[in-house]
Structure 1
Amino acid sequence: MHRFGCVAIVVVLLAALAGGGYWLARELGVPLVSAACLVQVDGEPVGIDREHAMRATTAAVTGDDPGEGVDPAVVRALREGAPDGPGPVLTCRATAPEGLAAEEMTETGLTPRAQTVLDEMNEVFGELSVGGYEPGGISSGHGDDSAHYDGRAIDVFYRPISTEGRREGWLMSQWLVAHAERLALAVVIFDDRIWSTQFSAAGWRPYSITPTGDEAVDEILRHIDHVHVDVIEQS
């Protein structure tokens, strides 16, 4: 291949990785780092393992020492966010745990797995504004076949919508992605983007909806004012 062609592929690949996608490397047959997670640090994608990603995303929230092996620049990148405005700088590949049993909703309105996620979010992030569930369960207010109706989903609100709130939402979203395998997460949605365990190799993908013509409702459906997370039903 001509040198120009090689350079072009590398440039395109780096751009894709910066946006959070692993798929392009597979399509082009270009070797990719084996790390489970990628973080955009000073304009360059940096591969890190899952354990380091979990500790780094927690440290970015709490300010605690992430421990040995975690580059402070990674924590800084997570804390500061994308240089051009709120947005993701981390994505991870994930595999659904095998042998997960189906769970029934408890009296809290959540399944035990979803309750574990909520408990851990509260432990790391402190008091949160949450919704999408209630004791006894819910049956409306979300799309057809929503995980909310099974008690498998939680919404974390960042209102009113602001740059600061969106950065906080991305801290939450990336913490969830880093911990997705451990917590058996299925989907994370925020700020017009979606990440899922099933398609985690694609990173953060655009999240599109059918326009409603109602700006307030549209912002909710686009998940600009809240992070949605749901857990795997069973495997």
Structure 2
Amino acid sequence: MIALSEAVDQRPTNRGSSWRAPLIFLVVVGLIVGALVWLGPTIANNVRVSEGRLYVGAECSVETQDGTVDLSRDEAKLATTAVALAARGAETPDTSDIDPAVLQRLADGPADDAGPSLRCEGTAADDLPEQELTPTGLTPRAQQLRDDMTAVFGDQPLGGFAPGGVSQGHGAESTHYSGRGVDVFFRPITEENRREGWILAQWLIAHADDLDIQYVIFDDQIWSAHSSRGHWQTYDAPEPANDILRHRDHVHVDVLRGEPR
């Protein structure tokens, strides 16, 4: 028979664990709070809500030789404007806060071939009113787009619209017929003209939110405001898929239609 004192001595004890669990919990909470304090500004800058959608990550980014550089929308607008003005020999804004590699890539494009280097998220506004043609043959939104392009790029060879509107020469569902599309020509098709076209195309997507841009098409590539990721995609040109229909000799840009009121 085991004495009572011996039985008591043989019972397991959890005295140590009675304080370990709360201590571990407090340590974990402290680490989480510390991480939030340390990373809070980064998280706040990279998580956004727009048009009822949650966005995580930088609004824009540029693929440089050394890797991807994240940009805010304002930085992308500043960088693309500075590059466009510099190409014209005009005075440029202060870009000292932007990585020089970003400006170099936007100006020169990829080393192996002319092409896009800038990505910007699309955020198509859904509360715009539908607009009628102005005397220029463009809607007020498209006319504002034209004016802003001219302010930065100067006079350009334009097409796709005319006073009173156009009714032929484009695909059946073309935005040119509703006065919402503008074509900017870069002819003939050369390496230099393609790089200049990409300077414009990337300026357009950086300013897409301000100008209510819907699509930008150039050089077999298309950007859409309806794509939240904002990457350029391969453009599937209609037959006969010649250089014009592939948009290799011109940048096409159009604005959102809006809804009837």
TM over 0.5, shorter chain: yes
Alpha-carbon deviation of 1:92? 0.3
Q: Distance in 2 between matches of 1:45 and 1:192?
A: 23
Alpha-carbon deviation of 1:43? 4.3
Say if 1:33 and 1:75 are closer, same or farther in 2 by CA, change over 3 A: farther
Aligned twin of 1:218: 242
Q: Distance in 1 between matches of 2:77 and 2:103?
A: 11
Aligned twin of 1:29: none
Aligned twin of 2:46: none
Alpha-carbon deviation of 1:53? 0.1
Alpha-carbon deviation of 1:218? 0.6
TM-score when normalising by structure 1? 0.81
**Alignment deviations for residues 17-44 of structure 1 (CA, whole Å, 9 cap, x no partner):** xxxxxxxxxxxxxxx9721001011141
Are positions 1:206 and 2:234 aligned together? yes
Q: Distance in 2 between matches of 1:150 and 1:122?
A: 21
Say if 1:155 and 1:126 are closer, same or farther in 2 by CA, change over 3 A: same
The structure with the larger Rg is 2
RMSD of aligned Cα (Å)? 1.6
Q: Distance in 2 between matches of 1:44 and 1:72?
A: 13
Instruction: Report matched runs for 1:108-147 at 5 Å.
Output: 108-147=136-175
Aligned twin of 2:257: 233
Say if 1:65 and 1:149 are closer, same or farther in 2 by CA, change over 3 A: same
Amino acid at match of 1:126: G
Are positions 1:80 and 2:103 aligned together? no
Alpha-carbon deviation of 1:125? 0.6
**Alignment deviations for residues 88-117 of structure 1 (CA, whole Å, 9 cap, x no partner):** 000100212342111101110000000011
Are positions 1:97 and 2:121 aligned together? no
1:220 counterpart SS class: coil
Are positions 1:49 and 2:72 aligned together? yes
Q: Distance in 2 between matches of 1:159 and 1:200?
A: 32
Q: Which of the residues 190, 206, 214 maps onto 1:162?
A: 190
Say if 1:49 and 1:202 are closer, same or farther in 2 by CA, change over 3 A: closer
Q: Distance in 2 between matches of 1:202 and 1:95?
A: 9
Q: Distance in 1 between matches of 2:192 and 2:209?
A: 28
Alpha-carbon deviation of 1:66? 3.7
8 Å Cα contact 1:58/1:66 also seen in 2: no
Q: Distance in 2 between matches of 1:73 and 1:43?
A: 8
> After the TM superposition, which parts of structure 1 deviate over 4 Å for at least 4 consecutive aligned residues?
none
Structure 1 unaligned regions, length at least 5: 1-31
TM-score when normalising by structure 2? 0.73
**Highest relative contact order (Cα 8 Å, sep 6+), 1 or 2?**
1
1:113 counterpart SS class: helix
Say if 1:202 and 1:174 are closer, same or farther in 2 by CA, change over 3 A: closer
1:136 counterpart SS class: coil
